[in-house]
Structure 1
Amino acid sequence: MARAKYKKRSDGRYLVQIQTGFDENGKQKFKNIYAKTIPELEKKINTFKYNLDRGIVVDDQNLTFKEWANNWLDTYKTNVTTRTRKRYKSIIDIQLKPLHNIKLSKLKTVNIQKTINELTTSVSLTIKILKQIIKQAMINELIFKDLMLGVSFSTQEPKKRRQLNEQEREAIEKADFSAKERTFVYLCLYAGLRRGEALALKRNDIDFKNGILHISNTVIYNDNNTPELKGTTKTLAGVRDIPITNKLESVLKEYIKTNVKGMFLFSSRNHTLVTKTSYQNMWKQIIRKMNSVSKIPINEITAHHLRHTYATDLFYAGVDIKTCQYLLGHSSIKTTLDIYTHLDSDPANVAKKIDEYYISNQSNISQ
């Protein structure tokens, strides 16, 4: 009788050991590979050997969480932007530091829970990254159960972004902005552009003849100050054409005519993209000038508050939800709906709208 090629365990799985190298004492090191069937086992063996030849596989017996997390980032996150990669790396190095020296094979749910309990910033992103790291470790058979299943997360809802109030909108109209400042504010407030989309605008993105802004680029800051022009916006849905309102048109035309010398609407003295520091200084000036004409203190306003206000204006103007989604560049309609669900929750307002619809509809029937 031919000897079985692979050993079958009492739990029904097949097992094979593959040598991965030698330890510091010259002793051979092995990797255990398991599968329920021989074809599945042989597929895993081939994949393992392929990765081993390329240095992707590491010794999982002494592999620490930090080593695996960095391996995960280098191997499975090669398609993310430089900015996103740096953000992930920061989360691993700082937020997940309490887990660094724990061997992956010894990692427990309680270790993860204690780490999450101590988080004060970037909680959602940290949890998202942890889930991906643990899931990939399971796929690679470095751990054999989902350690995130027993972890409890805070149910506290994130703060909802708000639109500008009446005093803040009045301050924008009264403030003694420079042409550059007012143009930037109006692009966010009356076209709903994201900060990076506004900073990336070029002369040829503006079509006054057809009354359209062509949005297809964004500016990101990969380090503390240096700008980078990306060929796509935040999402693929961000590539869009936005109508130029009357409120925006006159400001845009005057600004381009008298202030724009190079390719970009907003640029440094040598006509290159503005640095992060330059943008921050401009925004501080915008807030300072708003405060100089406001009856109430204005502090916690960002460019995104202007964009959010544009979104709510679309709603109150009666623009349908799918058009709103397109104009805002949301890849998911849920994002658009999340903005709108709280806007008209007053029963009296809802009843008024329904009554107005019934009256209008009845008039059409009678005619």
Structure 2
Amino acid sequence: MKGSIKKNKQTGKWDFVIDIGKDPLTGKRKQKRRRGFETKKEAEKALAALLNEVNEGTYIEPSKQLYSNYLNKWLKGKEHSLSIQTLKLYKSYMKTHIVPALGYLKLSALNPLHIQEFVTELRNKGLSQTTVKRIFNVVNASLNNAVKMELLKKNPASSIEKPKWDSKEITIWNLQQVISFLKVAKSSPYYIAFLLAIMTGMRQGEILGLRWKDVDFKNECLYIRQTLTHDGKGFKEGAKSKAGNRSIGLDANTLSVLKQQRKIVITNKLKYGSAYNDFDLVVCTSKGKPINPRNLLRTFNNVIIKANLPKIRFHDLRHSHASLMLQQGENIKLISERLGHSSVKTTLDIYSHVLPNMQKEASNRLASQLFNN
């Protein structure tokens, strides 16, 4: 491979041209030109760097397609791996935020400054930190894929300081509040759903999609292998992510309540006979159909009112589970695995607000052992 440098008589600046091999389709020689260097030394440096990439086989031809076009193709390729709700959310983020801000740029022209300014603009719109993080994650994932497909040499989003989750948005109950909630909820037909959320940290869709064949009474655990969609109209095989396909250990009390629930289900099967819709669900209507998520949330909110507790979202039962486990000193890796997070870092990012108190308690425990003997 070789290249040559010349001074452009019209612009007074330095240009170079490099031979990058033959086109595999036409057999013709391919050349790459770079123009507009202020000095010969700058041109020589850029030429040497490009020659090195070509010789080492790391050179990637800059993509000419617009980021908006690439983004649509990328999302289309993920249609079968994303849930209906997640797909809708991604499309909304793309239409409202990503494409208007970045879609007009060529994929190869995107740089860290574009991404940083985009994130800043999202914050200036008044969006929550969590929403900003989620939108950034869509951009980041799409660009990681572009690198994998050899359309980009490097992901420009990897160089910026990534947005963090807003821990202030997470509202949790303390131990006494959880106990009060469960006491009132015990008379609800959805008690088992509430108990599973608190004792396992399962997501709503995971609880409503749980089947009896996924509950292992012998080994005292359950497996996340199916979820109910957000609209309650269908099931999705697997969990939210690969890490979400997991097993979760169960305590004796939860196992006992599950056995009671199984007796109720068997009784209903015998009662309704052929009219029973057997989806093998743990949490279901008396005739076996999936629970409408809206009905579950309506009952959940009514129980909160009866128990005279601060209002939280159903998903915050999952956060309460994680926070209570952290506070009692459980291993962070174990908690991360129970929640189905892709890494311990995700768990730490979400629950970092719990850690300062844990540090203080740990210091006090150590001090009591050292100085109170």
Give your verdict on TM over 0.5: yes
Task: Specify which of 2, 8, 11 is matched with residue 3 of structure 2.
Answer: 8
Confirm whether residue 215 of structure 1 aligns to residue 223 of structure 2: yes
* TM-score normalised by L of structure 2: 0.66
8 Å CA contact 2:171–2:312 kept in 1: the answer is no
Correspondence for 1:3: none
Aligned match for 1:286, one of 297, 300, 324: 300
Is 1:69 the equivalent of 2:87? no
Q: CA separation of 1:97/1:181 partners in 2, compared to 1, >3 Å: closer, same or farther?
A: same
Q: 2:323 aligns with which of 295, 301, 312?
A: 312
Aligned-partner Cα distance in 2 for 1:325–1:38: 40
CA distance in 2, matches of 1:71, 1:43: 24
Q: 1:334 aligns with which of 326, 330, 345?
A: 345
Q: Does the aligned pair in 1 maintain the 2:209–2:226 contact within 8 Å?
A: yes
CA distance in structure 1 between the aligned counterparts of 2:52 and 2:356, rounded to whole angstroms: 58
Please tell me whether residue 229 in structure 1 is matched to residue 231 in structure 2. no
* Contact 1:218 1:232 (C-alpha < 8 Å) held by counterparts: yes
Where does residue 312 of structure 2 map in the other structure? Answer: 300
CA, structure 1 residues 140+41, in 2 after alignment: closer, same or farther (shift >3 Å)?
farther
Please give the residue correspondences for 1:1-367 in structure 2 after superposition, counting only pairs within 5 Å.
8-10=3-5, 11=16, 13-15=18-20, 36=51, 60=64, 63-74=65-76, 77=78, 80-83=81-84, 84-99=86-101, 102-104=104-106, 115-119=118-122, 120=127, 122-133=131-142, 157-159=166-168, 161-165=170-174, 168-175=177-184, 178-210=187-219, 212-221=220-229, 224-232=231-239, 234-236=241-243, 238-246=245-253, 248-259=254-265, 261=269, 262=278, 263-268=280-285, 271-274=288-291, 278-294=292-308, 296=309, 298-302=310-314, 304-337=315-348, 339=351, 342-343=354-355, 345=357, 349-358=361-370
- Following superposition, the deviation at residue 264 of structure 1 comes to 0.6
Structure 2 CA distance for partners of 1:19 and 1:310, relative to 1, 3 Å: closer
Contact 1:91 1:126 in 2 (8 A): yes
Look up the match of 2:42.
none
After superposition, the C-alpha distances for 1:311-361 in whole angstroms (9 at most, x for unaligned) are 33334445444444444444423344553773562776444411444489x
Give me the whole-angstrom Cα distance separating, in 1, the residues matched to 2:81 and 2:120: 28
Report deviation, 1:241: 4.0
- C-alpha distance 114-209 of structure 1, shift in aligned 2 (>3 A): closer
Distance (whole Å) between structure 2 residues aligned to residue 333 and residue 218 of structure 1: 23
- Aligned Cα RMSD in Å? 4.6
The amino acid across from 2:295 in the alignment is N
Deviations 1:143-177 (A, max 9, x none): 89976589777678543634313663254134255
Among the aligned pairs, what percent are the same residue? 21
- Letter aligned with residue 258 of structure 1: I
Q: Deviations over 1:235-280 (max 9, x none)?
A: 436422412232x244323222124544111235663444xxx112
Contact 2:222–2:250 under 8 Å retained in 1 = no
Structure 2: how far apart are the matches of 1:347 and 1:192? Answer: 23
What CA distance in whole angstroms lies between the structure 1 residues aligned with 2:169 and 2:83? Answer: 28
- 2-structure distance, mates of 1:188, 1:357: 36
Q: Give the unaligned 5+ runs of structure 1.
A: 1-5, 22-30, 49-56, 363-367
Q: Secondary structure of 1:226's match?
A: coil
**CA displacement at 1:123 relative to structure 2:** 1.5
Give the Cα–Cα distance (whole angstroms) in 1 for the partners of residues 55 and 87 of structure 2: 33
Contact map agreement 1:216 1:233 (CA 8 A) in 2: no
Tell me: CA distance 1:145–1:162, structure 2 relative to 1, closer, same or farther (3 Å): closer
